[in-house]
Structure 1
Amino acid sequence: MDKPPGEELKGEDPGAELAVKVGLRVRAVRSRRGLTRKHLAYHSQVSERYLAQLESGEANISLSLLSRIARALGVRVGEFLPLDEGALALYEPLHELVCTLSPEKQQQAYLLLRNTFNRDRSARRGVALVGLRGAGKSTLGNLLARHYRVPFIRLDEMIAQLSGMDIGELISLRGQEVYRRFELQALEQTIADYRQVVLETGGSLISQWETYSILRDHYYTVWLRALPEDHMRRVMAQGDLRPFAGSTSKAMQDLKLILDEREADYGLADYSLLTSSRSIEECLQELVRSCQPVLTTQDRLPRTD
């Protein structure tokens, strides 16, 4: 007579039982982050096939690969390892509930829990604006900083200052990898130098999981969103036609693809604000209300220690 799934693990193969428990935990953390398996594979540089085997308890567990996965998810490796049966049991009801939700609902549940239980607003260094070009980061960021009388910092300007080159020259001459190193260095310097700030980030920062995790740990993050048509119109109004040097329809297709690919990462921000079909004043009022708990603190000046 065949045994129920998992029954043959008990008392026969502790290694297999551990693999199942680790797999459940990896899957639970991934669900909390609102990431697909394909998305996690990209960020961790671990194959999607191995992730599928790991989550189903069928993989040969490698600490090296687990470390990559943990780093991509922004957790410690130990979070994947059950301490004892009692500790694991605490997670089972939540895990079972999460598994019944759609990916969209899983992300909403994660954000609700994170914002309710796991965010120390008093430790925040201010507000960081994320989103693609044309969403309104420069305009609204500058106005928000003026409202709360805090510095407005553009991360690209910090990168240019540190590297001694403008962004286009830096990427062209030294490549994306060097640019990303300066991007992380600029973020760390901003965290060290300012107690309170409104920070404008580049649209692709969210693709660098380590940098994005540090950003979310130290700032209240706001995703400024807009419809693809508004992104394109606003960038063209700024006089920058480089993204649309070829076919406009092809540029729009590319823009929509980028938005789709980055939506899950942008969605990890603390707050989302749609700027399409709204006046600057309306958007600013909502942004001011959202950021009020973070920016109405005493420490507003650059650090001098």
Structure 2
Amino acid sequence: MKPEEKSASDVEEAKSQPSLAKSIGERVRAYRARRGIARKNLSAQSGISERYLAQIETGKANISIELLQRLAQAMVVPLHGLLPALGQQALPNSLSDLLHRLSSSQLEEAYQLLARHFAPPRTCQSGIALIGIRFGGKTTLGELLASELSLPFIRLSQVIEAQGGMKVGEVLELGGQRTYRRLERQALEHVNEQHPLSVLEVGGGLVTEPETFQKLLSSFYTVWLKASPDELMRRLMAEGDMRPLEGNNLKIAKEDLTRILTERDADYRQADHILETTGRTVEECFLELVSVSRPVMAPFPAMTTEVNRTVS
């Protein structure tokens, strides 16, 4: 038995503190989802077996501080972020009562109002950045927009690969999340300096790095290309890209996509504009994207691009 795997005494001790173990497990799983890290990759980076990671995430393991620290380092999150916020201050009763009376649409409106009111001040934005999960349409729409505005289209992943001297997958495999996030931040700084007037496509997980994301928000007008899990799965299958599928399990893949979107939702919503792409053609999405970009990048040339494909 590996040192991190459960013994009978571990099981009994974990049972005595089920709420704490479950809370820690939920936080580990949430951070893994936000980062978009497969359990297999987290196992390799942390040195903790996949089996034990599954036990941790389901609240069935009595994890030690040492192992928790290894997980935090592998995911590049603070250790305290994986611990439950004991004694956290509750919302005032009046505010809690008000929120409970609101409908889903009203809660969404309230969130947007609060986010805009308390958003940090931004410097002058010069380019357009497209954010969101893979298969959201960033490449398709980004290339069209760049052509329409006569601007360079830049994929941040390609800048990372050029600066790191290897493919993104190799960076993550050899250097882990910490190295990748450092190169990602440096790549964004490079684009800010060399190509401030550009259409930029960034990786879906960039929003999970607060410092890097704030740099993006302060330098670019950001658009979240949003899509439902069902739509993303349809596009994934159409492209034949099985990378997100662990064991080719479609159900698990959809659950993972849903969890990632849920965990990143608050981050993505900090974008200047949310463009829903579900069930829409490229032409419909492109026209909306140009319409919101025009005030930022005006004057634009006349729209002549012909598109009628489906976003992919």
Unaligned runs of 5+ in 1: 1-38, 57-95, 299-305
CA distance in 1, matches of 2:287, 2:96: 34
Task: State the secondary structure of the residue aligned to 2:244.
Answer: helix
Residue pair 1:126, 1:197 contacting (<8 A) in 2 also: yes
Task: State the secondary structure of the residue aligned to 2:128.
Answer: strand
> Post-superposition shift, 1:238?
2.7
- State how 1:11-50 maps to structure 2 within 5 Å: 45=80, 48-49=84-85
- State how 1:1-305 maps to structure 2 within 5 Å: 45=80, 48-49=84-85, 52=88, 100-101=98-99, 104-113=108-117, 118-119=121-122, 123-246=124-247, 247-296=249-298
> Post-superposition shift, 1:125?
2.5
AA aligned opposite 2:170? E
Structure 1 stretch 138-147 or stretch 226-235: which is displaced more? 226-235
> Post-superposition shift, 1:48?
4.9
TM-score w.r.t. the length of structure 2 is 0.62
> Post-superposition shift, 1:231?
1.0
CA distance in 2, matches of 1:99, 1:152: 47
> Post-superposition shift, 1:50?
6.1
Q: In the superposition, relative to structure 1, how do residues 212 and 50 fare at CA in structure 2: closer, same or farther (>3 Å)? A: farther
Equivalent residue number for residue 77 of structure 1: none
Task: State the secondary structure of the residue aligned to 2:204.
Answer: coil
Residue pair 2:185, 2:212 contacting (<8 A) in 1 also: yes
Residue pair 2:122, 2:217 contacting (<8 A) in 1 also: no
CA RMSD of aligned residues (A): 2.9
CA distance in 1, matches of 2:257, 2:114: 27
CA distance in 1, matches of 2:276, 2:270: 15
Residue pair 1:130, 1:223 contacting (<8 A) in 2 also: yes
CA distance in 2, matches of 1:151, 1:293: 18
> Post-superposition shift, 1:200?
0.3
> Post-superposition shift, 1:237?
2.6
CA distance in 2, matches of 1:208, 1:99: 33
For residues 3-44 of structure 1, give each alpha carbon's deviation from its aligned partner in whole angstroms, at most 9, with x where no partner exists: xxxxxxxxxxxxxxxxxxxxxxxxxxxxxxxxxxxx9xx976
AA aligned opposite 1:278? R
Residue pair 2:246, 2:252 contacting (<8 A) in 1 also: no
AA aligned opposite 2:297? L
AA aligned opposite 2:235? R
AA aligned opposite 2:298? T
AA aligned opposite 2:214? S
Unaligned runs of 5+ in 2: 1-33, 35-75, 301-312
TM-score w.r.t. the length of structure 1 is 0.63
Residue pair 1:136, 1:224 contacting (<8 A) in 2 also: yes
